[in-house]
Structure formats: C-alpha cells, structure tokens
C-alpha cells in the first residue's frame, strides 16, 4: 500500500474554481528580488509540501497518519459542508455540518508550512521544558543530578520530542473553545457581479483580523466571484455591503495578497499589478521551488 508523501496545505477542491478551461490556474510568486513570476499549474501541483505532516522515525503507515486519517477526513467533510452552505445558505446547514466546516476553517490556519514549522518547534521546546521542570524526577529516573530528564527521553526515543508538536495538531484544529465560538458567529455568503474584478486566493487562504475569541472578521474566498464572510459583529458586514462591489473585491484582494506567505492564485494574469505592489518577498524565497 502506498502512502501520500505530497501533503496539500490547501486542498485541491478549494483552488479548483480558479481553473480555466485548460484545468489550470495562475500562480504568482516573487522568487527573485521584486520580480513577479506568473505561471500556470494544475491545482494538484501547487500548495503542497513533501512530508509536511510526516512523523519522524515512524513506520510509513503510521508516519503519514495525519494526512491519511486526519486531514483527508477534515477536507472531505469540509468540502461537503461548504457545498451545502453555499447551496442552501450557511444558516440552514445542520449542526454537524457547521461543526465540520468550522474544523475545516481552523485547519486552514494551522496547516500552512510556516504554521507547521512553528508547531514543531514550539511543541518540542514545550515538551523539553515540561520534562526538565522538576529535577527530582530526573534523579528518580536514574540520571545524575546534572543531567536532565529530556536527555533521557531523547536517548531512548528522540522522535518523541521531535513529533510532539505534530501529535497535538488535531487538538489545536479541534479546540472546542475556538470551534464553539466560530460556530456561533455570523456566516454570510457574498457573491460579486461580473462588473467587479475577480477575487484571488493566497496560500494563506483564510483571512483573519482580530481575536476569534473576542472580536474578529474572517474571509474565505471560495471562487473568483464568491466569498464567505464570518464576523463577530453584524455591523462589519453592513459596513462592507455599503461599499461598491468593485471596492469590496479590491479590499479582499489587497488583504489576500498582503497575507500571502509566498503564493497568490488567480484565474488569469490581470492581478499582476496588485501582486507587484503588495506581495512581500521572503528572504529565502529565491532558494525555493514552487510547491
């Protein structure tokens, strides 16, 4: 049995609406200084990273369990819930569908390569700090007083520390405090007319301003002319709707490009001027290939 080594941090179904008749979308990046590159790719060829969620030092089947068990389930249920929300209205979907969609939205915030790198690092550091908090436990484990319990764990099972952050990733994505809060917010389906520009979507697809537990606004572009707006205060939506459709799209696109880590995706190349102005260049961007 083969296990997937290429892990998509943006599922292909989310990018598919931006594909043209050729089945491809445009990916913008800034690989060299401030030069913008626009290339055509299939959704299967972008927004992925080899072994992004792979556990270190484990058998192949268990090493890929986050991708094969957790994220594939989250994406499948999220796709069905999103389809139901846009077909019948977000306020009409079932409680289970709303919960599944909330988990999918949370997953988009924690599965980007930058987020995964932080989770791996902070998880390992947190576990080491917890293990070494009480020196008496190390002595009880048979270590010399100058040794640390984390050293013993690292000797016996080094992968345990390295994998700890990843192991709690499902708990982060399904944190009930965030999910319950998210499920109670207003979810609004916004469709834009043909006279307005098209939306883009970035590698950090779910846009968030504020604190989810207090006051926030979230936007998820789901197609060139459609987005889901989630907010804690209905006045945010009312103020947004007062803008002309062109300005609504421009504000979301500016936000998407400025939030992008490396890539912006669109149906065509008409957003090249915006990308040139707003896409940041990462210091290591020139050394990395499109994922």
pLDDT in tens, 12-59: 999 999 999 999 999 999 987 788 999 999 999 999 999 999 999 888
pLDDT for res 174: 95
| Token pair of 229 as six digits | 């707006």
Dihedral angle, C-alpha 192, 25, 115, 254, nearest 10 °: -40
Query: What is the rounded CA–CA span in Å between residue 93 and residue 88?
Result: 7
- Using the predicted structure, report yes or no on whether residue 70 has a pLDDT greater than 90: yes
CB 185 within 8 A of CB 232: yes
Closest CA to 75 of 43, 115, 122: 43
Query: What is the rounded CA–CA span in Å between residue 93 and residue 141?
Result: 53
- Using the predicted structure, report yes or no on whether residue 119 has a pLDDT greater than 60: yes
Q: Is the dihedral of CA 32, 33, 37, 43 positive or negative?
A: positive
pLDDT for res 288: 38
| Token pair of 97 as six digits | 């569908």
Cα-Cα end-to-end distance for the chain = 25
- The larger pLDDT score, comparing residue 113 to residue 152, is at 113
pLDDT for res 201: 98
Query: What is the rounded CA–CA span in Å between residue 146 and residue 166?
Result: 30
CB 30 within 8 A of CB 279: yes
CB 282 within 8 A of CB 29: no
- Using the predicted structure, report yes or no on whether residue 104 has a pLDDT greater than 60: yes
Average pLDDT over residues 111-128: 92
| Token pair of 268 as six digits | 């065509």
Bridge partners, residue 71, by sequence: none
- The larger pLDDT score, comparing residue 85 to residue 246, is at 246
Average pLDDT over residues 120-140: 78
Query: What is the rounded CA–CA span in Å between residue 42 and residue 22?
Result: 9
pLDDT for res 289: 34
CB 291 within 8 A of CB 236: no
% of the chain residues with pLDDT over 90: 63
The 3-state secondary structure of the chain reads: CCCCCEEECCCHHHHHHHCCCCCCEEEEEEEECCEEEEEEECHHHCCEEECCCCCCCCCHHHHCHHHHHHHHHHHHHHHHHHHHHHHHCHHHCCHHHHHHHHHHHHHHHHCCHHHHHHHHHHHHHHHHHHHCCCHHHHHHCCCCCCCCHHHHHHHHCHHHHHHHHHHCHHHHHCCHHHHHHHHHCEEEEEECCCCCCCCCEECCCCEEEECCCCCEEEEEEEECCEEEEEECCHHHHHHHHCCCHHHHHHHHHHHHHHHCCCCEEECCCCCHHHHHHHCCCCCCHHHCCCC
């Amino acid at each position: 049995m083969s296990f997937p080594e290429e892990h998509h941090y943006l599922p292909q179904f989310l990018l598919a609406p931006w594909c043209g008749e050729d089945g491809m979308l445009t990916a913008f990046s800034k690989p060299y200084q401030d030069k913008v590159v626009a290339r055509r790719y299939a959704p299967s060829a972008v927004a992925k990273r080899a072994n992004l969620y792979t556990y270190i030092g484990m058998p192949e089947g268990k090493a890929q369990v986050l991708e094969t068990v957790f994220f594939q389930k989250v994406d499948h249920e999220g796709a069905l819930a999103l389809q139901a929300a846009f077909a019948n209205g977000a306020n009409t979907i079932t409680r289970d569908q709303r919960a599944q969609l909330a988990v999918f939205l949370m997953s988009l915030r924690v599965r980007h390569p930058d987020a995964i790198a932080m989770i791996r690092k902070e998880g390992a550091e947190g576990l080491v700090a917890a293990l070494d908090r009480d020196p008496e436990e190390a002595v009880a484990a048979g270590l010399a007083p100058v040794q640390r319990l984390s050293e013993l764990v690292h000797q016996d099972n080094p992968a345990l520390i390295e994998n700890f952050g990843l192991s709690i990733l499902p708990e982060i994505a399904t944190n009930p405090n965030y999910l319950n809060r998210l499920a109670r917010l207003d979810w609004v389906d916004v469709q834009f007319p043909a006279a307005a520009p098209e939306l883009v979507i970035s590698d950090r697809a779910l846009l968030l301003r504020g604190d989810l537990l207090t006051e926030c606004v979230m936007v998820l572009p789901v197609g060139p002319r459609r987005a889901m707006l989630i907010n804690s205060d209905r006045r945010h939506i009312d103020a947004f709707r007062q803008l002309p459709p062109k300005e609504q799209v421009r504000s979301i696109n500016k936000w998407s490009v400025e939030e992008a880590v490396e890539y912006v995706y669109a149906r065509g190349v008409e957003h090249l001027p915006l990308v040139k102005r707003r896409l940041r260049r990462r210091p290591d961007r020139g050394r990395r290939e499109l994922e």
